[in-house]
A and B are shown apart, each in its own frame.
Chain A
Amino acid sequence: MAHRANFYNSINRSRSFTLLESIVAIYVFLTGVVGAMTLANQSLSAASVFKDELVAANIAQEGVELLRNMRDTDFLMMQSSGPCFPPSCDANQAFNPPAACQDLNIGCRFTNLLALTLRSATGLTPCLNTVASGRECNFLKKDSDGFYQYDTGIVTKFDTRLFITPSNIANRTTIPVYPVHDWVVRSVVSWNRRFGTMSYTVNSQLTPWLE
């Protein structure tokens, strides 16, 4: 009996956790759990950001490629009436993007990505909104074949803008009749995420139509 009384008393006397200790213990435990959860969550959201970036990078790259194609097609068209040596070429047909493209506050986009010929005279459309007023240059649409374009399909979150400005550095004045300066090309793809806007930019330089 005495034994038991001692045992009982010893339990009774043993120190229990104080409130502070409990709080610290729970805090430490929660930090560990929350840390692990955050890590898993972030790795997933990072993967999805990369997915958007991969798509955007390829669309931005496509913009630069298509502009180069436009420059080359313009040149071929100029040649269509025969060999093209100054001053027999029609300078009005040379690669010359609309004014909106050259305005860093507006920008432009391709009129129709699935058109057979891309020519600078008709292939570029000014954006409706300024850069400052947000996006909606025209969201790309994705048609049932998987092609991104502007005419038909499901509206995606990607806004594409092209900025094509004359290069001041490499102004060429040897053949003054023609617009013979280099063009600095910026192809910007932007899209909204939960926290703010993301964008992907490809920079390039187009040499004149006539080297």
Chain B
Amino acid sequence: MHYQGFSLLELIVAVGLFAVVATIAIGALLAISKAGKKAFYIQTNQDNVRFTLETIAREARTGFCYQDTSTNPGEVCPAFATVNYCKGQYAGPLEGCFQFRNSRGQDIVYIISTSAPLCGGSSPISCILKSTSAGAAGSFFPVTAKEVQIVNLKFRVFGEVSVGEYIQPRVMIVIRAQTPGINSLSTVLDVETSVSQLQLDRLLFAL
């Protein structure tokens, strides 16, 4: 009687094939899950940057008295005795502070911060804070989520001087946001925009 089982060669080939297919399949599955995670990080990053830029731009457009870290007191807003909270804050390469008066008369400050308690997360963290009362102690609250690191925030104000100058104020805003994640999962987003004051500067102060 002739019983046919698998020969050793057949088994080796079969197991070998199975191993190859299994490796490819598992690799593909891992790639899918990684891609999904990365897409989620990118999405989170974009949502935060879009929201923040939109918030700042909309409010600043109808506001006035633009001031950044280099604006000297008395240069702007002759009609208001506003202290520039940003002056000297993060002077040098970090220009991450911007102050203006919004259409409701509040003195708004946006500033980059690495303070874990203020950002609402655990250290190391970097976020954008907002104050609606000229940076008074305890008035700051975060506008970006703790899942996103704000690596770079810069405001550059042009034409902020109101007396003896004929330049309509504008501000350039640069945000670089990064989601944590390791190696290839980390995503970086650089966005820039500008806002020009809506009201004519000199008509505003009747100079």
- Do A and B pair up? The answer is yes
A-binding residues in B (CB < 8 A): 1, 3, 25, 28, 31-32, 35-36, 38-39, 42-43, 46, 49-50, 53, 93, 95, 152, 154, 156, 158-159, 166-168, 170, 172, 174, 176, 187, 189-197, 200-202
Could you say which of A8, A73, A114, A142 contacts B190, with CB atoms under 8 Å apart? Answer: A142
B-binding residues in A (CB < 8 A): 1, 4-5, 8, 33, 36-37, 40-41, 43-44, 46-48, 50-51, 54-55, 58-59, 61-62, 65-66, 68-69, 72-73, 75-77, 79-80, 113-114, 116-118, 142, 145-148
Are A47 and B39 in touch, CB under 8 angstroms? yes
- Could you say which residues of chain B place their CB within 8 Å of the CB of A116? 158-159, 167
Are B43 and A148 in touch, CB under 8 angstroms? no
- Could you say which residues of chain A place their CB within 8 Å of the CB of B172? 62, 113-114, 147
Could you say which of B53, B152, B201 contacts A76, with CB atoms under 8 Å apart? Answer: B201
Could you say which of A37, A65, A73, A80 contacts B28, with CB atoms under 8 Å apart? Answer: A37
Are B168 and A43 in touch, CB under 8 angstroms? no
Query: Least Cβ distance of A137 to chain B in Å?
Result: 18
Are A66 and B50 in touch, CB under 8 angstroms? no
Are A47 and B43 in touch, CB under 8 angstroms? yes
Q: A58-B53, A116-B159, A116-B167 are in contact. Are A66 and B154 (CB under 8 A)?
A: no
Query: Least Cβ distance of A59 to chain B in Å?
Result: 7
Could you say which of B3, B32, B189, B195 contacts A51, with CB atoms under 8 Å apart? Answer: B189
- Could you say which residues of chain A place their CB within 8 Å of the CB of B194? 62, 65-66, 69, 113
Q: A50-B46, A76-B201 are in contact. Are A33 and B192 (CB under 8 A)?
A: no
Of all chain B residues, the one with the shortest Cβ separation from A67 is B196
CA–CA, A145 to B154, complex, Å? 8
Q: How many pairs, one residue from A and one from B, have CB atoms within 8 Å of each other in the complex?
A: 117
- Could you say which residues of chain A place their CB within 8 Å of the CB of B193? 58-59, 61-62, 65
Are B1 and A4 in touch, CB under 8 angstroms? yes
Are A147 and B39 in touch, CB under 8 angstroms? no
Q: A58-B192, A147-B156 are in contact. Are A44 and B53 (CB under 8 A)?
A: no
Of all chain A residues, the one with the shortest Cβ separation from B165 is A76
CA–CA, A66 to B166, complex, Å? 16
Q: A66-B196, A117-B159, A146-B174 are in contact. Are A58 and B32 (CB under 8 A)?
A: no
Query: Least Cβ distance of B111 to chain A in Å?
Result: 17
Query: Least Cβ distance of B203 to chain A in Å?
Result: 9
- Could you say which residues of chain A place their CB within 8 Å of the CB of B170? 65-66, 69, 118
Query: Least Cβ distance of A166 to chain B in Å?
Result: 21
Of all chain A residues, the one with the shortest Cβ separation from B176 is A146
CA–CA, A114 to B152, complex, Å? 18
**22 contacts across the A-B interface (CB closer than 8 A):** A40-B36, A46-B39, A50-B46, A54-B46, A54-B50, A54-B191, A55-B190, A62-B193, A62-B194, A65-B170, A65-B194, A65-B195, A66-B170, A68-B196, A76-B202, A77-B166, A142-B190, A145-B152, A145-B174, A146-B190, A146-B192, A147-B154
Are B35 and A41 in touch, CB under 8 angstroms? yes
- Could you say which residues of chain A place their CB within 8 Å of the CB of B50? 54
Are A44 and B38 in touch, CB under 8 angstroms? yes
Of all chain A residues, the one with the shortest Cβ separation from B174 is A146
Q: A47-B39, A47-B43 are in contact. Are A54 and B32 (CB under 8 A)?
A: no
Are B28 and A33 in touch, CB under 8 angstroms? yes
Most A Cβ at <10 Å: residue of B39, B174, B176, B200? B39
Are A147 and B192 in touch, CB under 8 angstroms? yes
CA–CA, A8 to B3, complex, Å? 8
Q: A58-B193, A116-B158, A142-B190 are in contact. Are A40 and B32 (CB under 8 A)?
A: yes
CA–CA, A44 to B158, complex, Å? 39
